[in-house]
Structure 1
Amino acid sequence: MGEVPLNSSNSRSDKLLQDPFDADGDIDPTTEKGQEVLSQPAATKWELYSYYNYYNGNNGYNIYSFLPTLLQYMAQKGGFDPTDPTHPPCSDQLSNDSPCNVPWPSSPNGVPVISMIMYVTAISFGIQFLLFTTFGSMADYERWNRYILMFSTVVSCAAQILPVIFISNPSQWQGTMALTIITNISYGASLVFYAAAFPTLSDNLPLVRKIRADPNAASEESKVVVEKWRNHVSAISTTFSNIGFLILSAIFSGISFIPWKQGPFLNAEQTFGNTPLFYFIGTAACGAYWLINAVPYFVFQPSGRRGPPLPEGEHYITIGWKSIIAALKEAKKFRYLFMYIISYFMFIDGVNSISTMQTYVQNQITSFSATQTVVMGLITAITSILGCLFFLFLAKRFNVSTKTNLMIIVVTTGIVPIWGCFGIGLDNFGLKTSWELWVLSVWSGFFTGPIWAWQQTMLAELVPRGKENMFFGLFGVANKASSWIGATIIGAVIQSTSNPYFGWPVIAGMFVIASVLLWFVDVDAAKAELIHDNIQQELDQSKAKDMDFDEPTKTTDDA
């Protein structure tokens, strides 16, 4: 490995800073380490950068901006004033003081628009929960990860483009609601299976493969390099996602200011960004952008990047449930991993709820003004990139641990719902004014944007090797279950109070619980548990081999 000893600090620094494709020498196929590494093809630059570029397209801009805004706008057009027994149409003056309900099953007086949006979120995540528990573990076998990711990508892109069919009748919010549910389900699937692919990709960078296969490499040194390159791939892919968010924000910001004469307009500003047409075109453009950026990854992913065949006697329909039960049993063996699952359950639900609440409040305060909201999105995109690079800098330059970075991110993100709680009793503070929205754009971008990279890196550190898809699938299920439950509770609270700001205390409680649990996760002890489990598995396998070897000998002697 060179003149510098592998376990020296200089060697560690070199391995973390050099080109991951600069690795001389062949891997010895006769060693156990070498055989394990060679079971997967080496990652290429084309595969790595097309993986990054996929996330550039799948940046969530439409999911968290245009599509929910379009649904909210159409619901306002098709809703009614619940305070008047005759149920007249909702006021065109969209504000927090203008109640607006939409028809809803088993609710004679309908539900507030924000409750409907929360229930749509709950339905989306509830269906994802059922799908992931049934089919999620299929990604562990053959090339199902690729196929599921490809299918979910195509479906989500199509569902984002289709709302344009309602452009001549914007009051038909039910159709857009159905497409939103389909988009959310397929988008959620794409995130889970995209994330599940990154540990295998990172571990097969030529430099990492060389260190993993080196029989003389110190175990601790090898783990540090693997962990840091996983951090690198995860953080850079998230940065690419934020770059895609930035590109779309910049394009749509410029377009929104184009002078426009033909209405209808959402407010007094006669610009293209203040017309419903802008949002219809925006959703379609975002879907097309994702599809274009996704294609290269499926082209350049090596054909050998696959899992083992489906075990004999198993079925694709039932193996998912068995896998989830097995993952839960495995997680219980690792107390810190199980603790992190619960923490993740809470803070990811909080993040998703913040996004929904922020979009709704933002639209109400600005009266759907794209000239304001799109620029806020642009600021969020820029600060998200800065945030990802900042926390990556902390990790590489000052060796700040994954847990410490994630702890900072979760706590600072949790300040947002506490901030929103002030809006329950105040009119000029608590996410109720335009200046607060600008501050929130910066804050949420810098501190919340990196959460997607660091939560999955934390998971990668705690998951037993060889079971990445199983546990990423379990976390995907935890994400969907938590978001389904949380969104339902928040929607019901808002429905009973008729005040959207009562949703913030619920979200704040999620972050308090998540932060406390995350604080008590001992990563070093968790890794020790993994090592102990690996040793125990090796002993069990060795005993099983000895029994298989002794059995025929015993039979021969008896004969």
Structure 2
Amino acid sequence: MRSTRRERVGWYFYDWANSAFQTTVITVFLGPYLTSIAEKAAGCDGDACDNAVIHPLGLSIAPGALFPYTVSLSVFLTVFALPIAGAIADRSAHKKQLLALFAYIGAAATTAMLFLTGDRYLLGAGLFLVANIAFGASIVVYNSFLPQIADEEDRDRVSSFGWAWGYLGGGTLLLLNVAAVLSKDALGMSTGEVARYSLVSAGLWWAGFTTIPLLALRNRPPQAEALTGGGNAVTDGFRQLWHTLRGLRAYPLTLFFLAAYLVYNDGIQTVISLASQYGTEELKLSDSVLVPTILMVQFLAFAGALLLGRLARAIGAWKTVLVSLVLWTLVIVVAFFLPAKQAVPFVILGGAIGLVLGGSQALSRSLFSQLIPKGKEGEYFGIYEISDKGTSWLGPLLFGLAYDLTRSYRVAIVSLLVFFAAGFVMLAMVPIRRAIEQAGNTPPARL
């Protein structure tokens, strides 16, 4: 069943829909807002919280560590959810309905943050866990449509356009929320109220625009290979994951590249998810500075991908990713020394993050595509997706532990250097030309 232009446009719109959750909820508003809720529960506020603790589930932690710990737990649990979602998607003739299920669960949990008031930090943490796991599961189902709507020759273009459309969608809602932050006095709302309604807007945006791909996409019969596993979807999901991981042993250099990616991507994802909390809690920047800066990052990420893509054509993708990791290291060092309550240095650093962010992610994906043996693209990119969405928990955990032990966000942010340094060393050790040849592919002229 061939795809139509209408179906492809519909597929693009799910990236437009779900990216609002990534930008508005994870990157900007939830970290500072949930931290303020936790501080209220601890009976303190801001600087007076240095020695305060909260007790979620009987544990004693600093209020500022709640959000990074919650992010860490959510992505750890996602490791178990993604293979199950993938197995069900492979074996289902109702993939569109499965996308709707995960998307609407995530959107409903996000919209329910309307009730995140007072000292209900456990409610906020629980809703985020549900929303983030559902988000990851929906992305697995969403990506599984790609081979069905684009052939091998057109898949890169279709995938890239969807990725770009997502940046625009997430940035558009964030722009609207920035306008609300800047107009909070005219709206008669406090900063906390604007943050809470911005979180709700992401859930409504996610749910509303998800209807477009659901109207445009078509279900197709499951592939024959997906029907041979036996058992139920849960056990088949883990069996399929284990089979793919065992098969990776035949391509040790591909596996080593994937390990390097896991390490440095963990650092990247942690910076994305916790930059807002660092700017608010350590640098004491207001939302009127913080939110427009992160909005700028959102749009510059696409420009950065184009810029580093041009550099990759000149010196090769492998070398360009290594350059990007050096730039990430400089970003962390500069972030450590940023002065508090000064907007200009933070904005300049945000611009640097935007330029390096998009290129790091886009080129890592394209480089990995050269290390996949032909005919196994789907299962290997399934592992890559788990690596991207489900294993980035060590960074938030390290950040949370560093803050919990030192009560210093500067120590917490600089602790992330280990991911970029180790990732650089590991990636530099990959004999990339031999790795591509080992996978049965022809290396490009420049690496």
| TM bucket normalised to smaller | 0.7 to 0.9
Measured after TM superposition, the shift of residue 98 of structure 1 is: 4.8
- Is 1:239 matched up with 2:239? no
**Where does residue 126 of structure 1 map in the other structure?**
76
Q: Select the residue among 368, 372, 383 that pairs with 1:459.
A: 368
**Where does residue 298 of structure 1 map in the other structure?**
214
Q: Select the residue among 311, 321, 346 that pairs with 2:263.
A: 346
Measured after TM superposition, the shift of residue 47 of structure 1 is: 2.3
Structure 1 unaligned runs (5+)? 1-40, 80-88, 209-228, 263-270, 533-559
Question: Normalization by structure 1: what TM-score?
Answer: 0.71
CA distance in 2, matches of 1:454, 1:145: 29
Measured against aligned partners, the alpha-carbon deviations of 1:297-326 in whole angstroms (never above 9, x if no partner) come to 232223337433421634322112221221
**Where does residue 356 of structure 1 map in the other structure?**
273
- For the pair shown, the structure with the greater C-alpha radius of gyration is 1
| Contact 1:235-1:454 at 8 Å conserved across structures | no
CA distance in 1, matches of 2:220, 2:319: 36
**Where does residue 228 of structure 2 map in the other structure?**
311
| Contact 2:8-2:149 at 8 Å conserved across structures | yes
- Is 1:416 matched up with 2:300? no
**Where does residue 445 of structure 2 map in the other structure?**
none
Measured after TM superposition, the shift of residue 161 of structure 1 is: 0.6
| Contact 1:140-1:469 at 8 Å conserved across structures | no
Q: Which amino acid is 2:15 matched to?
A: Y
Q: Tell me: CA distance 1:383–1:152, structure 2 relative to 1, closer, same or farther (3 Å).
A: same
CA distance in 1, matches of 2:93, 2:429: 37
Q: Which amino acid is 2:292 matched to?
A: V
CA distance in 1, matches of 2:66, 2:207: 29
Measured against aligned partners, the alpha-carbon deviations of 1:84-122 in whole angstroms (never above 9, x if no partner) come to xxxxx213xx34985543224454xx3122322221112
Where do 1:238-257 residues align within 5 Å?
A: 238-257=163-182
| Contact 1:365-1:434 at 8 Å conserved across structures | no
**Where does residue 75 of structure 1 map in the other structure?**
38
**Where does residue 345 of structure 2 map in the other structure?**
436
Measured against aligned partners, the alpha-carbon deviations of 1:387-424 in whole angstroms (never above 9, x if no partner) come to 133344556xx47644344334333233322334x44x
CA distance in 2, matches of 1:70, 1:387: 29
Q: Which amino acid is 1:128 matched to?
A: T
Which is worse superposed, 57-66 or 139-148? Answer: 139-148
- Is 1:371 matched up with 2:288? yes
CA distance in 2, matches of 1:132, 1:508: 28
Q: Which amino acid is 1:130 matched to?
A: F
| Contact 2:35-2:66 at 8 Å conserved across structures | no
Q: Which amino acid is 1:180 matched to?
A: F
Where do 1:361-400 residues align within 5 Å?
A: 361-365=278-282, 369-394=286-311, 398=313
CA distance in 2, matches of 1:135, 1:235: 23
Q: Which amino acid is 2:130 matched to?
A: I
Q: Select the residue among 8, 11, 15 that pairs with 1:51.
A: 11
Where do 1:450-529 residues align within 5 Å?
A: 450-479=359-388, 482-529=391-438
CA distance in 2, matches of 1:405, 1:42: 36
CA distance in 2, matches of 1:194, 1:416: 32
CA distance in 2, matches of 1:261, 1:45: 43
CA distance in 1, matches of 2:253, 2:196: 46
CA distance in 2, matches of 1:329, 1:521: 20
CA distance in 1, matches of 2:16, 2:89: 22
**Where does residue 182 of structure 1 map in the other structure?**
130
Output the aligned Cα RMSD. Answer: 2.9
| Contact 1:125-1:484 at 8 Å conserved across structures | yes
Q: Tell me: CA distance 1:202–1:415, structure 2 relative to 1, closer, same or farther (3 Å).
A: farther
CA distance in 2, matches of 1:341, 1:145: 28
Q: Tell me: CA distance 1:63–1:333, structure 2 relative to 1, closer, same or farther (3 Å).
A: same
- Is 1:281 matched up with 2:229? no
Measured after TM superposition, the shift of residue 135 of structure 1 is: 4.3
Following TM superposition, where does structure 1 have runs of at least 4 consecutive aligned residues deviating by more than 6 angstroms? none
- Is 1:335 matched up with 2:252? yes
Q: Which amino acid is 2:303 matched to?
A: L
What secondary structure does 2:55 align onto? Answer: strand
**Where does residue 162 of structure 1 map in the other structure?**
112
Q: Tell me: CA distance 1:330–1:144, structure 2 relative to 1, closer, same or farther (3 Å).
A: farther
What secondary structure does 1:260 align onto? Answer: helix
Q: Tell me: CA distance 1:469–1:478, structure 2 relative to 1, closer, same or farther (3 Å).
A: same
| Contact 1:490-1:506 at 8 Å conserved across structures | yes
| Contact 2:81-2:137 at 8 Å conserved across structures | no
What is the count of residue pairs matched by the alignment? 437
Q: Tell me: CA distance 1:152–1:458, structure 2 relative to 1, closer, same or farther (3 Å).
A: farther
CA distance in 2, matches of 1:65, 1:55: 18
CA distance in 2, matches of 1:408, 1:236: 25
Which is worse superposed, 114-123 or 146-155? Answer: 146-155
Percent identity, aligned pairs only?
A: 18
Q: Which amino acid is 1:73 matched to?
A: S
**Where does residue 90 of structure 1 map in the other structure?**
44
Q: Which amino acid is 1:373 matched to?
A: L
Q: Tell me: CA distance 1:495–1:365, structure 2 relative to 1, closer, same or farther (3 Å).
A: closer
Which is worse superposed, 518-527 or 355-364? Answer: 518-527
Which is worse superposed, 352-361 or 451-460? Answer: 451-460
Measured against aligned partners, the alpha-carbon deviations of 1:160-201 in whole angstroms (never above 9, x if no partner) come to 1101123xx422111111111111211222334434443554
CA distance in 1, matches of 2:6, 2:144: 19
CA distance in 2, matches of 1:368, 1:180: 24
Measured after TM superposition, the shift of residue 433 of structure 1 is: 4.3
Q: Tell me: CA distance 1:368–1:435, structure 2 relative to 1, closer, same or farther (3 Å).
A: closer
- Is 1:103 matched up with 2:55? yes
CA distance in 1, matches of 2:100, 2:362: 21
CA distance in 2, matches of 1:441, 1:353: 15
CA distance in 2, matches of 1:111, 1:503: 15
- Is 1:113 matched up with 2:63? yes
Q: Tell me: CA distance 1:368–1:281, structure 2 relative to 1, closer, same or farther (3 Å).
A: farther
